Amino acid sequence: MIAFAQYRPLTSTGIGGDCFALLQKKGENKITAYNGSGRAPMAAKAEWYLERKINSVPLTSAHAVSIPGAVDAWDTILRDHGKFGLDRLLQPAIDAAEQGYVVAPRIAFDWKNQFDKLKNGTNTERYLLPGGKPAVAGDVIRQPELGKTLRAIAKKGRDAFYTGEIAQDMVDTLRGIGGLHTLEDFAAHTTETTVPIGTDYKGYDAWQCPPNGPGITMLVMLNILSRFDLKKYAPVSVERFHIEAEAARIAYMMREQYIGDPQQADVNVARILAKNFAEEHVGKIRMDSVLELPNVAPPMNPSTIYCTVVDKDRNVCSFINSIAHSFGSAIVSDKTGVLLQNRAGGFRIQPGHPNCIAPGKRPLHTIIPGMVTRDGEAVMPYGVMGGHYQPMGQTSFLTNHFDYGLDLQESIDLCRLFPYQGKVQVERSVPAALWWAVVTLTTTGYGDVVPITPLGRLVAAMVMISGLGVFGLWTGILATGFAAETRRDNFLKTWDSVSKVPFFAALGPAAIADITNMLRTMDLPPRTMIIRKGQQGDCMYFIAAGQVEVDLPGGKKVPLGEGSFFGEMALLGNATRNANITTTGVTRLLVLDLVDFHLLMARHPGLAQTIDAEAKRRALENK
């Protein structure tokens, strides 16, 4: 995992960032929590910023860089639990940095989106914009300076990073652009080893790292939701969404009001997790209205990498690593090639607030590794990548699994919504009927409905409590199931003269050519059609000429009309996994998964408006 955390290059993680972890050793009912978050420089006083009219931390400034905590945390975790040291485990990352790694399409997408940020960063044009342009899929990127830095850490351990030449280079780089950092700030950094916080839900116990991590947010959500019988409502329904959204708004309000670094702020975890704290709010939730709550506005919404491992001995690890925003602060140390995080951008400059910046203080974080136990033994490590969505995402995942009985992959695949900064973010995979119901509900208090690309990414593993056998993806893992974000992998595409489909006709030749070329890469001849049993219905868009009918288990038939945008497929949810899809007179069928669809929308802005109009039109027809 450590090699992966550095090797998954640049956009989300690296040695310039932070990490958190939950670990349970074989045969022990104890979970250990590791807080590998960094601190503000000792000179970082709120008064210093206010005197200079700085009311919030600029995300691409030296002031956004807290001391990176990941390297020390890795070293601490390996000292406590590892069979190998950094000398061995960093070798794949060293090889990738020195010999080069191939840029994947997803990484290229981020690189292109962050081009302006990198062009205006510190040393980023030299290190991260080869030839003055963002890397594209298939490019080979080499970072020899970073490779040399990793070699020093592998040879001399964490001290090579926090003292000596590497630390001096980071300090010089930061102070050269106005930072307050010193060598003493780096040398003083330590990882906190502690016990997790948790709550019970549906016969299980859910665990999180304590503050300054925000895991307490999702525990409050679970405490609130435990008072509701969610199974009264469909898993994809406005009632279920409304209850979870209200629970989220309450929990996120609590986070913004009460949570900070407990080493420097009064954070009463026991009171917040007490059942009567949840009860105070449960009675206020109404199904026909929205609570009047302050509009909390978290200061940042960054990017992350999560991974989980259950080894052959049944040691369980839930691990998350991040440099905050994509490409962090866009500051690379001058000689050593370290891309530095902008986690201190999560501070407030507001004296008296528990998350106000202060000397040696850790910011309110966003990354939360999760773990579920039963009778003290780990049964599921899991996590979400997606900034402030993580508590909401973890909670929705657990309720999908424990309340609705969905398996791990189904729990991940289900469409997502998120109340955020006075608006409701809604994935475009949400069915049109639910979309319109949410729009209607927003008139009573939610605010605008904002269509967005996928919310977060999830990973989970289900661990056997007893017995033998491996039913996961990785040989040697004692697990009954493993699931990850695979919304791209299970879909088939066919192509035939897309320009004749009325739905796309108005988009113009550029969009049509883009779609056609994409589908041609599948190497399928015209008029070919592939329909298979078990096709996932969530997060999918159908464009068809002719008639398509879905035969659901139990004899129910659902017709899907000609030339349609079938957001309604999500209404069928995971039932389509065991459905037969039959056709009558179909000459063209186009099936796009969510990733493909949003790539198209990014290239062709008119597509999003067309989808919105079609969804609203169909919702009105359905009424």
User: Would you list the DSSP string of 28-63?
Assistant: ----EEEEE-----TT--HHHHHHTT--S--TTSGG
In this predicted structure, what is the pLDDT of residue 312? Answer: 83
In this predicted structure, what is the pLDDT of residue 314? Answer: 87
When pLDDT is averaged across residues 513-533 and rounded to a whole number, the result is 40
In this predicted structure, what is the pLDDT of residue 297? Answer: 65
In this predicted structure, what is the pLDDT of residue 552? Answer: 47
In this predicted structure, what is the pLDDT of residue 449? Answer: 61
What is the residue-wise DSSP string for 264-285?
TS---HHHHHSHHHHHHHHTT-
**Residue 96 in tokens:** 């990738």
Residues in the chain: 623
Per residue in 250-283, pLDDT (tens digit) is 999 999 999 999 999 999 999 999 989 999 889 8
In this predicted structure, what is the pLDDT of residue 537? Answer: 32
* The one catalytic residue among 304, 308, 366, 480: 304
**Neighbouring-strand partners of residue 199:** 206
**Distance from C-alpha of 350 to C-alpha of 360, rounded to nearest angstrom:** 16
* Confidence at 425, pLDDT banded by 50, 70, 90: confident
Contact 120, 60 (CB under 8 A): yes
DSSP conformation class of 343 = G
In this predicted structure, what is the pLDDT of residue 106? Answer: 74
Top-confidence residue, 496 or 618: 618
H helices within 550-604, ranges in order?
569-572, 594-603
Per residue in 463-476, pLDDT (tens digit) is 543 322 222 222 22
Residues with Cβ within 8 Å of 504's Cβ and at least 6 positions away in sequence, in order, are: 498, 511, 512, 515, 543
**Distance from C-alpha of 339 to C-alpha of 328, rounded to nearest angstrom:** 7
Q: Which CATH number fits domain 194-299+371-484: 1.10.10.10, 1.10.246.130, 1.10.1740.10, 3.40.50.2300?
A: 1.10.246.130
Domain 498-622 coded CATH 3.30.70.600: no
**Distance from C-alpha of 528 to C-alpha of 526, rounded to nearest angstrom:** 5
Top-confidence residue, 614 or 499: 614
* Strand order across the 557-560 sheet: 557-560, 540-551, 580-593
Contact 43, 17 (CB under 8 A): no
**Distance from C-alpha of 378 to C-alpha of 206, rounded to nearest angstrom:** 10
pLDDT greater than 60 at residue 76:
yes
**Distance from C-alpha of 310 to C-alpha of 312, rounded to nearest angstrom:** 7
Contact 402, 199 (CB under 8 A): no
Q: How far are the Cα atoms of 43, 169, 292 from residue 182, in angstroms, in the given order?
A: 9, 11, 45
**Distance from C-alpha of 181 to C-alpha of 68, rounded to nearest angstrom:** 12
Contact 191, 162 (CB under 8 A): no
Q: How far are the Cα atoms of 225, 251, 268, 285, 404 from residue 282, in angstroms, in the given order?
A: 8, 11, 20, 6, 21
When pLDDT is averaged across residues 474-491 and rounded to a whole number, the result is 36
When pLDDT is averaged across residues 610-619 and rounded to a whole number, the result is 52
* Confidence at 38, pLDDT banded by 50, 70, 90: very high
pLDDT greater than 90 at residue 422:
no
Q: Is 337 helix (H, G, I), strand (E, B) or coil?
A: coil
Per residue in 292-334, pLDDT (tens digit) is 887 766 655 667 888 888 888 889 999 999 999 999 999 999 9
When pLDDT is averaged across residues 67-82 and rounded to a whole number, the result is 96
Torsion sign, CA atoms 486, 492, 495, 500: negative
**Distance from C-alpha of 150 to C-alpha of 101, rounded to nearest angstrom:** 15
* Confidence at 30, pLDDT banded by 50, 70, 90: very high
Q: 163-172, 445-454, 612-621: which range is least confident on average?
A: 612-621
Per residue in 44-70, pLDDT (tens digit) is 999 999 999 999 999 999 999 999 999
Q: How far are the Cα atoms of 151, 491, 502, 565, 622 from residue 562, in angstroms, in the given order?
A: 60, 20, 9, 9, 16
**Neighbouring-strand partners of residue 317:** 23, 309
**Neighbouring-strand partners of residue 307:** 319
Mean pLDDT (the chain) is 77
**Neighbouring-strand partners of residue 319:** 21, 307
**Distance from C-alpha of 477 to C-alpha of 360, rounded to nearest angstrom:** 40
Nearest to 391 by CA among 506, 495, 253: 253
Contact 62, 178 (CB under 8 A): yes
Contact 180, 43 (CB under 8 A): yes
pLDDT greater than 60 at residue 112:
yes
| Strands in 388-448 per DSSP E | 417-420, 423-427
Chain Cα centroid distance, residue 455? 7
Contact 18, 305 (CB under 8 A): no
Q: Is 504 helix (H, G, I), strand (E, B) or coil?
A: helix
When pLDDT is averaged across residues 540-555 and rounded to a whole number, the result is 44
Contact 544, 588 (CB under 8 A): yes
Active site (annotated) includes residue 308: no
pLDDT greater than 90 at residue 491:
no
Per residue in 556-573, pLDDT (tens digit) is 555 544 333 333 333 333
pLDDT greater than 60 at residue 599:
no
Per residue in 172-191, pLDDT (tens digit) is 999 999 999 999 999 999 99
pLDDT greater than 50 at residue 502:
no
**Distance from C-alpha of 65 to C-alpha of 41, rounded to nearest angstrom:** 9
Q: What is the residue extent of each domain of the chain?
A: 2-39+60-191+324-346+357-368, 194-299+371-484, 498-622
In this predicted structure, what is the pLDDT of residue 79? Answer: 95
**470-486 exposure pattern, b = at least 16 Cβ within 10 A, e = fewer:** eebeeeebbbbbbbbbe
In this predicted structure, what is the pLDDT of residue 415? Answer: 79
* Confidence at 427, pLDDT banded by 50, 70, 90: confident
Q: Which long-range contacts (CB under 8 A, 24 or more apart) does 296-299 make?
A: 296/252, 296/253, 296/255, 296/256, 296/257, 296/421, 297/421, 297/422, 298/252, 298/256, 298/346, 298/366, 298/388, 298/421, 299/56, 299/57, 299/345, 299/346, 299/347, 299/348
In this predicted structure, what is the pLDDT of residue 579? Answer: 43
**Distance from C-alpha of 172 to C-alpha of 8, rounded to nearest angstrom:** 27
Looking at the chain, the number of H-run helices and the number of E-run strands are 24, 21
Top-confidence residue, 469 or 450: 450
In this predicted structure, what is the pLDDT of residue 498? Answer: 36
Q: 397-401, 406-410, 462-466, 523-527: which range is least confident on average?
A: 523-527
pLDDT greater than 60 at residue 515:
no
When pLDDT is averaged across residues 91-113 and rounded to a whole number, the result is 87
**Residue 591 in tokens:** 């099936």
**Residue 501 in tokens:** 């489909």
When pLDDT is averaged across residues 207-220 and rounded to a whole number, the result is 97
How many CB atoms neighbour CB 165 within 10 A? 12
In this predicted structure, what is the pLDDT of residue 462? Answer: 58
In this predicted structure, what is the pLDDT of residue 62? Answer: 98
